[in-house]
Chains A and B, each alone.
Chain A
Amino acid sequence: MMDPIIQLKHLSKHFGKTKALDNVTLTIPKGKIIGLLGPNGSGKSTLFKILNGLLAPTEGEVLIGGHAPSIESKGLISYLPERTYLNDWMKVHELLDFFEDFYEDFQRNKAMTMLEALHIDPKAALKTLSKGNKEKVQLILVMSRKAEVYLLDEPIGGVDPAARDYILSTILSNYAEGATLLISTHLISDIEKIFDEVIFLKDGGIYDYASVEDIREKSGQSIDELFREVFKC
């Protein structure tokens, strides 16, 4: 196996009696695009939050590039949460300043190019933008960093189908070389073509972790079809 970038050891997170994550052990290598798939409430967002140090795990250990969640690990990760986390009163170009100030690996010209391509005015205040456009701004900010790990939580959820393809290609063409992308999504058919590997999460545990090729060969199904079969209600 190649160099691991993310290591989870016996990771658990309980909220009261519910186990959002239950004894997850997982090693994710560098340089892969990985789909994190699972139904609502299977622990995808919880996992992301723990990786980012936004939630403290109940038990177990997390290492990102060898660091526990800390300043060092946060410098390596570029995280897109499933909600809008930006200051509403800021203008788009002020957000670029903000990211430039805090992240050494932020590439401003890249962000400007993407804004232009998506017809977003850098002088616009964020609160005047539509929900979809806010999400685009957020994605642009996140993808303009030269990070080692990109954690994208539902990156195309709120975006119209026409923009989805552009955004997928934006993600693919902009992530730093050798980096690992972990993408959670419900819209599997739209996005599965870019995955190298997929992780199926079920009830806070790992149901399966395999390369896309293996799955297709073994089951003769697409990831989307398999997902529907595994998580049939």
Chain B
Amino acid sequence: MKYELKATARYFLPIYLAILTLSLIIGLRGVNETFLPFLNFLLPTILGLSFMGLMVMTVILIVTRFDKNLLGDEGYLMFTLPTKVTTLIHAKLLSSMLWILLSGLIFLLSILFITFRHISFLDLRILWDTLPKDYMFLLLLVLLTVVGILQSLLQVYASLSIAQSYSITKNRVLGGILVFIVISMAFNIFESVVSLGGTFFFRESPWLQMVMDETMFQNIEDIFQFFKSFMTVYLVYTSVKAVLFYFFTKYHLEKKLNLD
């Protein structure tokens, strides 16, 4: 874990720093500053590009760290260490998770830096107070984000592990992408069938009609209620998927390792 963080920090920290400085400069200049007008265009462009770069880099690093460090030459070291395979997976998973969350935080911070001259904190306070305080909803939202990220990461890991076990293509990453697409399609089909089936069976159900009517016309509390039950179902489904991918990864790295 320690080494995984160290290895990835080399890439992330510099770009975080760059983004924050850039947003700070933009924020300090103010949007309507006339000084050096071309900067009005240039700076946001650079910032936008850095964000895109950050996103692309995050994805690429997640894939290459797993591929190179575990399935490439470095795997000869990692898999001969007297540690559990699960420890290796956890280290990768947690540090990737951390970087994704940090990237999100940096994004928010950067927005804040850019706009801090134009927003009053009093307004924010009032906005905050008027929002309905539904902690259950917030909790669900956070859980859903976290589990969603974990699930996607694990799908990437599972795809790469499966691809290496059966040497699907000469190029490991390419094989991983193929497996990833196949898995995604399979789940898509499954999800469509379920939701189609759902609408088919419930289309004449008076209960659903009632629920729909209620949510359409009732107050905000009820809409929240509806969202919450929907989110809970989705959360459980995503967790199941995540666990499934976790065991796929573990099985293929433990029992079907095939380093070349």
Contact stretch, chosen from A52-60, A109-117, A194-202: A52-60
Interface contact A86-B82, CB-CB below 8 Å: no
Q: Which residues of the other chain, A, contact B82 by a CB distance below 8 angstroms? A: 71-72, 74-75, 102-103
- Where the two chains meet, the residues of B that have a C-beta atom closer than 8 Å to any C-beta of A are 2-3, 7, 10, 73-77, 79-84, 255-259
Interface contact B74-A85, CB-CB below 8 Å: yes
Q: A74-B81, A74-B82 are in contact. Are A56 and B257 (CB under 8 A)?
A: yes
Query: Considering the chains assembled together, what is the distance between the CA atoms of A87 and B72 in angstroms?
Result: 11
**A19 located at the interface, meaning its Cβ lies under 8 Å from any Cβ of chain B in the complex:** no
| Distance from A41 Cβ to chain B, minimum over Cβ atoms (Å) | 14
| Distance from B256 Cβ to chain A, minimum over Cβ atoms (Å) | 6
Interface contact A52-B80, CB-CB below 8 Å: yes
Interface contact B257-A85, CB-CB below 8 Å: no
Q: Which of B2, B73, B77, B257 contacts A53 (CB 8 A)?
A: B257
0 or 1 for each of A25-60: is its CB under 8 Å from B? (1 = yes): 000000000000000000000000100111110000
Chain A positions 168-197 with a Cβ under 8 Å from a chain B Cβ: none
Query: Considering the chains assembled together, what is the distance between the CA atoms of A75 and B214 in angstroms?
Result: 63
| Distance from B83 Cβ to chain A, minimum over Cβ atoms (Å) | 7
Interface contact B73-A74, CB-CB below 8 Å: no
Q: A53-B257, A56-B258, A85-B73 are in contact. Are A77 and B3 (CB under 8 A)?
A: no
For chain B, what secondary structure do more than half of its interface residues adopt (helix, strand, loop), or is it mixed?
Answer: loop
Interface contact A81-B257, CB-CB below 8 Å: no
Q: Which residues of the other chain, A, contact B255 by a CB distance below 8 angstroms? A: 56
**A131 located at the interface, meaning its Cβ lies under 8 Å from any Cβ of chain B in the complex:** no
Q: Which of A56, A85, A89, A103 contacts B76 (CB 8 A)?
A: A85
Interface contact A89-B80, CB-CB below 8 Å: no
Q: Nearest residue in A to B69 (C-beta to C-beta)? A: A87
| Distance from B172 Cβ to chain A, minimum over Cβ atoms (Å) | 15
Q: A83-B73, A84-B73, A89-B7 are in contact. Are A54 and B83 (CB under 8 A)?
A: no
Q: Which residues of the other chain, A, contact B76 by a CB distance below 8 angstroms? A: 52, 54, 79, 81, 83, 85
**A98 located at the interface, meaning its Cβ lies under 8 Å from any Cβ of chain B in the complex:** yes
